């Protein structure tokens, strides 16, 4: 039945489901405030939700609110990452609906986001298969003018970067999105070697086997943090991104787990899988 509904109605029902699960209650006033719809429309949505999930909510006549029942079973699949984003920033996309920041659920370390016009230009270039001419602030060269062929935008856990072929260095590299001051799309013929399919580090998938660091006395807590199975977390990661993950998680990549420090709770069990991978200087002690 859900598949037959239009997007707007599904969004309202998903909001009811979300509020019952994570706030424990929902009322008509909440729907009116959220979606700016009329009283009759909100009543229909609540009635339809109860028809779809009769055991999920109980009406309290004193407050005119529906409370989450002990038999609640969600009718929507709420992705954990999206849920936490919604709880910390508000349930909304920031476009069709305003985002209201929560005062009880926080994202303590938020990414520094690039300017929307820069992201827009990069995404149009990627979708359209275009070359860009840009002004980029480099750590090693300062302000530079470059010609890039971008093919992906990546959140590396610390900041956003774009993966692109750089005609200056004749190689595929990562460029931090906040360091672009200007991006222009240009019509320019591209060679096969400049396209995403030629980015070997991007296409190469590595299987990492990550375990609890030998220095940790009680393993179970870390195993639960990372959802390990039989003490091992297996991840498939693009070679171009593996260094970022290992640094972000402080994974000890030394030969014999030789790094000390409370921040190093993980150890890379199969270091040999990284052989031949570029840009691993940021992986903790990989080159030991």
Q: Does residue 63 contact residue 40 with C-beta atoms inside 8 Å? A: no
Residue whose C-alpha is closest to residue 93's, from 32, 8, 152, 153 = 8
How far is it, in rounded angstroms, from Cα 20 to Cα 70? Answer: 11
Predicted local confidence at residue 57, as pLDDT: 96
- At a CB cut-off of 8 Å and minimum separation 6, what does 179 contact? 136, 137, 138
Question: In this predicted model, what pLDDT tens digit does every residue of 9-21 receive, in sequence order?
Answer: 999 999 999 999 9
pLDDT at 243: 94
8 A C-beta contact, residue 87 and residue 74 = no
What residues contact residue 109 under an 8 Å CB cut-off, 6+ apart? Answer: none
Mean pLDDT across the chain, nearest whole number? 90
**How does strand 142-155 pair with strand 131-138?**
antiparallel
- Tell me what pLDDT residue 87 has: 75
Tokens 């990069």 — which residue? Answer: 122
Q: What residues pair up with 4 in beta bridges, in sequence order?
A: none
- The pLDDT tens digits of the residues spanning 227-282 come to 999 999 999 999 999 999 999 999 999 989 999 899 999 999 999 999 999 888 88
Average pLDDT over residues 148-162: 92
Residue with tokens 């719809």: 37
Q: Are 285 and 259 in contact (CB under 8 A)?
A: yes
- Between CA 234 and CA 231 the distance in angstroms is 10
* Tokens standing for residue 154: 């990546």
The pTM (predicted TM-score) of the whole model is 0.78
* pLDDT of the residue at 79: 84
288: pLDDT strictly greater than 80: no
User: pLDDT band at residue 285, thresholds of 50, 70 and 90?
Assistant: confident
Whether 181 has a pLDDT exceeding 70, the answer reads: yes
Going from the C-alpha of 64 to that of each of 20, 46, 73, 151, 213, the distances in angstroms are: 14, 12, 22, 52, 53
Q: Is the pLDDT of residue 31 over 80?
A: yes
Nearest CA to 162 among 140, 130, 189?
A: 130
Residue 177's SS3 state is helix
pLDDT in tens, 199-218: 999 999 999 999 999 999 99
Crossing angle of helices 7-22 and 39-52, rounded to 10°: 70
Per-residue pLDDT of 82-121, as tens digits, reads: 787 777 766 554 444 555 666 667 777 777 889 989 999 9
Length of the chain: 288
Nearest CA to 190 among 129, 125, 146, 127? 129
pLDDT at 195 over 90: yes
Phi and psi at residue 44, in whole multiples of 5°?
-65, -40
CA neighbours within 13 Å on the CB side: how many for 198? 15
What mean pLDDT do residues 71-92 have?
80
């Amino acid at each position: 039945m859900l598949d037959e509904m239009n997007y707007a109605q599904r969004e309202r029902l998903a909001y009811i489901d979300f509020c019952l699960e994570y706030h424990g209650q929902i009322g008509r006033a909440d729907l009116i405030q959220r979606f700016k719809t009329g009283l009759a429309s909100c009543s229909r949505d609540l009635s339809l939700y109860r028809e779809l999930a009769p055991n999920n909510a109980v009406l309290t006549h004193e407050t005119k609110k529906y409370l989450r029942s002990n038999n609640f079973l969600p009718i929507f699949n709420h992705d954990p990452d999206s849920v936490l984003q919604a709880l910390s920033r508000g349930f909304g996309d920031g476009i069709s609906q305003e985002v209201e920041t929560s005062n009880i659920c926080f994202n303590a370390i938020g990414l520094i986001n690039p300017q929307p016009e820069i992201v827009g230009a990069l995404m149009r270039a990627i979708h359209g298969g275009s070359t860009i001419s840009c002004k980029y602030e480099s750590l090693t060269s300062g302000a530079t003018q470059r010609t890039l062929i971008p093919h992906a935008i990546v959140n590396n856990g610390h900041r956003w970067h774009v993966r692109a072929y750089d005609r200056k260095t004749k190689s595929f590299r990562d460029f931090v999105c906040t360091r672009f001051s200007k991006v222009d799309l240009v019509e320019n013929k591209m060679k096969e070697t400049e396209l995403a399919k030629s980015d070997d580090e991007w296409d190469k998938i590595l299987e990492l086997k990550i375990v609890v660091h030998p220095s940790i006395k009680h393993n179970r807590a870390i195993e639960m943090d990372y959802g390990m199975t039989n003490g091992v977390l297996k991840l498939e990661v693009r070679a171009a991104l593996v260094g970022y993950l290992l640094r972000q998680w402080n994974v000890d990549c030394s030969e014999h787990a030789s790094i000390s420090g409370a921040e190093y709770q993980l150890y890379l069990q199969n270091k040999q899988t990284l052989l031949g991978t570029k840009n691993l200087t940021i992986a903790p002690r990989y080159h030991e």
